[in-house]
Amino acid sequence: MNFYRDATWVLEYVEEQESSGRVAGSLQTQVVNSCKKYNIKSNPKHLYALLYSCWRFKPYLDEILKKSGIFKDIPKKKGKPAFSKGTITLLVHDLLLSKSKRIQMGKHPIKDFVLKHKTRLQSELVRLKIKMKVTDLSQLLKDDSNDMTPVRWIRINPVRCKGKVEEVLETLRKKFPTTVSHWSEIVPGTIYEDEFVPNLFGVHPSDKITSHELYKRGKIIIQDRASCFPAHILNPNADDVVIDACAAPGNKTTHVAAHIFQDLMPDEVRIHAFERDPERAKTLHKMVKAAGCDKGIKVHVGDFTKLGKPEIFSQVTGFIVDPSCSGSGIFGRKMIDDRNKSKEELPEAEEEQDEIADQDLKNRLAKLSSFQFEIVKHALSFPSAKKLVYSTCSIHAEENERIVIDLLLDSKVKEWGWRVRKRAGVIPKWHRRGILAEFEEVFREGTQAQELADACIRVSPKEDGGIGFFAVCFERD
């Protein structure tokens, strides 16, 4: 029973995150986060496997559960339902849809309750299969085997290397003796040295990194290439004081630290990392510590737009703003996004379903983009700030180019003297830039639209060797 109880907590956590529009990261991340939050003892891999399958089948499971009337039958204990709907859903999943078609627990009242409804549940499953014209519900699931990163990116963390980066390189060369000249040539056992971000390497996703000593000692950090772009573009030096406005889990924060402190142990706070979610802030704390930067980075738990007062942080010169976004560029979210699309009802008519999904997405993007605009604008109001990198792992223009346009048109942002840094200062050799048509809609004269599109960086998911991404740099004199 303990396993199903733990799985119920995880399921409820994921559903709560999803319904509040706060889903940050993949389902895997959600499972790990909820295990931490509830101090869950069950094996996260087993929980993920159940949740993954349950999540994929959820619209069909919901239909079977509804038609079977099982929820109406839940007995009451002290006036409250004796069994949780979430746990029943998981048990029914295992009974009808798992490989073994068995509920994996010993004798328990909730198991007896579900088994009492077995015949009804099975006949609803048969009815649904006939309605959907399939012999197995798995035929209705979308293929998400593509929803994986093509490259595992790792960067050397100089702060933990104490001036001996060369030794780490040596160890990496021993582990991966063959160097390839393009990330697309990576096969197990080979390594690629990135041409855009220093000290960044690509290896095959099947090569185990997390069990390696370098990783355990914080000397290497797993971080997607595109996610390394913001700190590389900001390029802070020892004189800078930086705010990371949306910091957890801390990849960009620790990368900023690598620039500011390089291979010296930090001895004073030069980075302020804000994180609104207390649970994610715990992960941030851990990552900062593991990277050896805890003396140089102060974590502030709370909303940056409220805690981060310009008059308090008047010495801050640079910003990383990487707020919550739709996450449409990242891997491992496909089933979350598919579920978002299909949660209204079962696909009666494809077109109707597409319309509902389009409207849902538009509403979600409208909410996200107004938050993204506000948080960047707040950061731009800091008196000594000279440079700010805004980024998302979204592929939608609403969260990317259109935020840049709205900020450039904002009277306060103009008054504060901000402009967009040109391509020459934003990884000029990177081939994929912002969407020109978005800027042309607004900036119709001369070459301004082209310059603005060129100033932005876009990374296409998979095609460019990792997650989908967007980055732009604002600067002023």
Ligand X SMILES: C[S@@+](CC[C@H](N)C(=O)[O-])C[C@H]1O[C@@H](n2cnc3c(N)ncnc32)[C@H](O)[C@@H]1O
User: Does 393 participate in catalysis according to the annotation?
Assistant: yes
Six-digit token pair at 437?
A: 């048509």
User: Which of 395, 450, 462, 385 is closest to 423 using CA atoms?
Assistant: 450
Closer to ligand X at the Cβ: 117 or 378?
378
Q: What angle do CA 207, 213, 214 make, to 5 degrees?
A: 80
Query: Phi then psi for 54, rounded to 5 degrees?
Result: -60, -40
Binding site annotation covers 150?
Answer: no
What tokens appear for 165 in the block? 């980066």
Instruction: Report the nearest approach of ligand X to the CB of residue 388 (Å).
Output: 14
In whole angstroms, how close is the CB of 327 to ligand X at the nearest point?
8
Q: Where on the chain is the footprint of ligand X (CB under 6 A)? A: 24, 227, 246-252, 274-277, 280, 303-305, 322-324, 375
Q: How far apart are CA 165 and CA 198, in angstroms?
A: 12
Q: Smaller CB distance to ligand X: residue 125 or 287?
A: 287
Q: Which residue is nearest to ligand X (CB)?
A: 246
253-262 core/surface letters (b: 16 or more CB in 10 A; e: else): bbbbbbbbbe
Residues 12 and 86 sit within 8 Å (Cβ to Cβ): yes
Compute the distance between CA of residue 356 and CA of residue 342 in angstroms, rounded to an integer.
9
The Cβ of residue 134 has, within 10 Å, a number of other Cβ atoms equal to: 12
Contacts of 436 (CB under 8 A, 6+ apart): 449, 450, 453
* Residue (94 or 322) nearer to ligand X, CB: 322
Structure tokens given for 394: 């979204």
CB of 224 to ligand X, least distance (A): 9
Helices (H), 141-224: 165-175, 213-216
Residue position matching structure tokens 């119920």: 8
- Rounded to a whole number of angstroms, the minimum distance from the CB of residue 140 to ligand X is 32
Q: How far apart are the first and last CA of the chain?
A: 62
303 labeled binding residue: yes
CB of 201 to ligand X, least distance (A): 18
Is 251 assigned to a binding site? Answer: yes
Nearest residue (CB) to ligand X, 92 versus 256: 256
* Helix, coil or strand: residue 153: strand
24 is in an annotated binding site: no
Under DSSP, the state recorded for 16 is: H
Annotated binding residue 238: no
| Strand partners of residue 128 | none
Determine if residue 275 is labeled as part of a ligand binding site: yes
In the bound complex, what is the minimum distance in angstroms from residue 149's beta carbon to ligand X?
Answer: 15
CA atoms within 13 A on the CB side of 428: 6
144 closest CA partner among 56, 257, 84: 56
Contact predicate 111/88, CB 8 Å: no
The single-letter DSSP state of residue 324 is -
Q: Which is nearer to ligand X, 282 or 339 (CB)?
A: 282
At closest approach, how far in Å is the CB of 155 from ligand X? 12
Catalytic member of 35, 393, 456, 473: 393
152 membership: H or E segment, kind and range? strand 152-156
Of the pair 323, 332, the CB lying nearest ligand X is at 323
Q: Which is nearer to ligand X, 103 or 393 (CB)?
A: 393
| Residues 6+ away with beta carbon under 8 Å from 344 | 353, 356, 360
Annotated binding residue at 218? no
| Residue 249 is assigned to a ligand binding site | yes
Question: Which residue pairs from 67-76 have beta carbons closer than 8 angstroms and sit at least 24 positions apart in sequence?
Answer: 67/124, 67/127, 67/128, 68/117, 68/120, 68/121, 68/124, 69/120, 70/114, 70/117, 70/120, 70/121, 73/113, 73/117, 74/113, 75/113
Beta carbon of residue 229, minimum distance to ligand X (angstroms, whole number): 11
Annotated binding site for S-adenosyl-L-methionine: 246-252, 275, 303, 322
Catalytic residues: 393
Annotated binding site: 246-252, 275, 303, 322
